[in-house]
Amino acid sequence: GENPLPEDYVVSLLKLLPDICSFYRRDQDVCEAILQNLLPMVNILGTFSRNSEDLREARGQVLTVVGSFWHLAKKGKYSVPVRIALVNCMTTLLHADPCLKWAVLKVKCEDLPVRDAFPQFLADNNFQVCTIAAKSAIS
């Protein structure tokens, strides 16, 4: 499909992402908003056919940030709305890259494919998070 944003705009916007997330990581509302607003960006990242260095870097920024959110969620640092936004973001990553060519989280310098990170949410202590994760897993 046709992208509403040129690749260089997307790349420029995403360069700021790690710093913004690092600064606001303790603000649950901001974290939820960041994850929700990442959804269209992740979709766009999945549509670019070229695999330029800038595009790889932009995808890397998203995966590093989502990996950090995932790691902190695993440690119980985030509220239910943030965990739900994270499930939705990871689901969008899987849809954007179903073959997992690039949808691999960076967690503590380790590679973790998004689909392997998903089961954590199926075991979440909140029923709503589990339900959304289960629905996402089968869609």
Q: How confident is the chain (139 residues) per 10-residue block, as mean pLDDT?
A: 70 86 90 93 83 86 93 94 97 92 88 91 96 86
Q: Is 105 helix (H, G, I), strand (E, B) or coil?
A: strand
Q: What is the pTM of this model?
A: 0.89
For position 4, what pLDDT does the model report? 67
d(CA 51, CA 55): 6
- What is residue 3's predicted lDDT score, i.e. its pLDDT? 60
Tokens at residue 112, please? 């973790």
Specify the length of the chain in residues. 139
Find all residues with CB under 8 Å of 58, minimum gap 6, and list them: 10, 11, 14, 15, 45
Give pLDDT, residue 129: 96
Q: Return mean pLDDT, the chain.
A: 89
pLDDT at 103: 92
- pLDDT number for residue 138: 74
Q: Compute and round to an integer the Cα radius of gyration of the chain.
A: 14
Q: What is the pLDDT of residue 2?
A: 57
User: What is the residue extent of each domain of the chain?
Assistant: 7-138
